[in-house]
């Protein structure tokens, strides 16, 4: 099939690449000329496991192309995806300016029937606005071009996006057009062979499904962080509690890991946007308010533990930080807990030696060159000359360190485990003090 995708970020690039890999002819459009030139030269702008090889292979095969020319990209397109960003506006609502700009571009150039697909995460009612924007441009051209607008939200996890695209749990499609549904079924047939994954519904329900899914996952994380904070105060170990409740099939083990808070481009933005949507319709979403409030507070927890251990005397101390990305297997630092921790450490007069397997370049872009931040080449190098270690991202490479060597390297011999990846007894047996999230032992020791 002939597919055009507007946007070459995580969603657009992964979706376009996977569609090309099963034989479709895909053109990805972006207004960033430098990004397009880089992609055509084989430079993939994001880190996502398995993505670079697929991009290069399909580009070489001619199935995946990149351009800034929207008009030519729309020629012959059967399906047009809108996969551009919807960043939070000042009031927390989703900024639809990029989505609607693409819709106007489609209306300005479309000359044949096509299915226009909202792939971006957008508030309920956006399909109506996209349809109106296209119609306005067609009217200005004094032409009538048949088209359908459908909702097909993405459910890609950063770090697993290629796998999620190739083997989706579900394919949610919102449409009342039989013609559009058949075209979308044809497009997704290669991803739907093992069992029926397509879930059909009306457009508005599809739009809300995406927000509801992310809000539910964010709620589970904030709930566990709330329980962790209670566990610290009553002397319980949240990791034991996690196993105890996860064994209940009604709850399960997924997304019940306490830690330093959630980040990234989805959960924070989508919870805020859903909150705003509810308020616009006269409803106060008290649970969503709490989910966001708990998460914002949790991002400060690591600093509270560090400051408490040193009795607030952090001036001139050096803290090693393992992990800058908001989660493993990505270089994305949007809304990352590490950003909150680093700013607090600097405000307290501390220095930072940080290591992340993929996000160092992003950290340089965000923070620039500064004397109180040293981006190191390895986890071991980050420990050199540091007083303490703070683990912020649970990269697999951090899970089994040499604790005796760590004890020798750290001047204050203390570890702050923001993801509970270490066994406290193993750490303490090496002569290190240990602080985790919700592990009552830390409270008992203090």
Give residue for tokens 């994954």. Answer: 197
Selected catalytic residue, list 18, 165, 266, 376: 266
What H or E segment, with its residue span, contains residue 421? none
Distance between CA atoms of 318 and 352, rounded to whole angstroms?
Answer: 6
Asked if 19 and 187 touch (Cβ cutoff 8 Å), the reply is yes
Please enumerate, as own/partner, the contacts of 271-274 that have beta carbons within 8 Å and a separation of 24 or more.
271/214, 271/215, 271/218, 272/88, 272/92, 272/93, 273/86, 273/88, 273/92, 273/93, 273/94, 273/121, 273/123, 273/211, 274/123, 274/211, 274/212, 274/215
CA angle, 67 then 72 then 77, to 5°: 100
**DSSP annotation of 142:** T
Half-sphere exposure of 117 (CA within 13 A, CB side): 29
Distance between CA atoms of 154 and 109, rounded to whole angstroms?
Answer: 26
Helices (H), 22-116: 33-40, 51-60, 70-74, 97-109
Helices 97-109 and 126-140, packing angle to 10 deg:
40
Whether 266 is a known active-site residue: answer: yes
End-to-end Cα distance, the chain: 64
Which residue, 289, 368, 356, 287, is CA-closest to 328?
A: 356
Distance between CA atoms of 375 and 59, rounded to whole angstroms?
Answer: 34
Distance between CA atoms of 404 and 427, rounded to whole angstroms?
Answer: 9
Beta strands across the sheet bearing 171-174: 64-67, 25-29, 2-6, 79-82, 114-118, 147-151, 171-174, 198-201
Distance between CA atoms of 35 and 12, rounded to whole angstroms?
Answer: 13
Asked if 271 and 296 touch (Cβ cutoff 8 Å), the reply is no
Q: Is 442 helix (H, G, I), strand (E, B) or coil?
A: helix
**DSSP annotation of 157:** P
β-strand partners of 434: 415
Burial 285-319 (b: 16+ CB within 10 A, else e): beebeebbebbeebbbbbbebbbebbeeebeebbb
Which residues are catalytic, by number? Answer: 266
């Amino acid at each position: 099939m002939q597919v055009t995708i507007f946007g070459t970020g995580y969603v657009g690039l992964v979706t376009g690449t996977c569609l090309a890999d099963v034989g479709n002819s895909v053109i990805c459009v972006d207004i960033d000329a430098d990004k397009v030139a880089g992609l055509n030269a084989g430079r993939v702008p994001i880190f996502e496991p398995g993505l670079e090889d697929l991009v290069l292979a399909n580009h070489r095969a001619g199935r995946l192309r990149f351009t800034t020319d929207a008009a030519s990209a729309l020629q012959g397109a059967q399906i047009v995806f809108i996969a551009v960003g919807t960043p939070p506006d000042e009031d927390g609502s989703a900024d639809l300016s990029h989505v609607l700009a693409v819709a106007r571009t489609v209306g300005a150039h479309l000359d044949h029937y096509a299915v226009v697909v909202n792939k971006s995460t957008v508030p309920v009612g956006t399909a109506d606005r996209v349809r109106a924007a296209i119609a306005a441009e067609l009217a200005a051209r004094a032409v009538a071009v048949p088209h359908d607008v459908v909702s097909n939200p993405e459910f890609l996890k950063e770090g697993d996006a290629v796998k999620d695209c190739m083997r989706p749990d579900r394919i949610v499609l919102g449409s009342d057009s039989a013609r559009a549904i058949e075209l979308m079924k044809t497009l997704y047939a290669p991803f739907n062979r093992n069992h029926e994954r397509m879930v059909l519904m009306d457009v508005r329900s599809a739009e809300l499904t995406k927000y509801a899914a992310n809000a539910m996952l964010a709620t589970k994380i904030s709930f566990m962080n709330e329980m962790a904070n209670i566990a610290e105060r009553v002397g319980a170990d949240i990791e034991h509690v996690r196993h105890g409740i996860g064994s209940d099939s009604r709850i399960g083990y997924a997304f019940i890991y306490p830690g330093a808070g959630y980040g990234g481009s989805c959960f924070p933005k989508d919870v805020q946007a859903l909150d705003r949507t509810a308020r616009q319709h006269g409803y106060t979403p008290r649970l969503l308010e709490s989910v966001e409030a708990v998460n914002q507070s949790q991002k400060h927890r690591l600093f509270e533990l560090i400051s408490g251990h040193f009795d607030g005397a952090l001036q001139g101390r050096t803290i090693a930080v393992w992990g800058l990305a908001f989660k493993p297997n990505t270089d994305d630092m949007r809304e990352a807990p590490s950003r909150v921790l680093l700013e607090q450490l600097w405000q307290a007069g501390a220095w930072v030696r940080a290591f992340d397997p993929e996000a160092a370049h992003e950290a340089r872009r965000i923070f620039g060159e500064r004397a109180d931040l040293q981006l190191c080449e390895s986890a071991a190098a980050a420990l050199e000359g540091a007083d303490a270690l703070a683990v912020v991202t649970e990269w697999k490479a951090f899970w089994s360190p040499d604790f005796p060597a760590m004890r020798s390297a750290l001047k204050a011999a203390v570890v702050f485990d923001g993801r509970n990846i270490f066994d406290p007894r193993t750490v303490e047996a090496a002569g290190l003090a240990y602080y985790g999230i919700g592990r009552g032992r830390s409270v008992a020791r203090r």
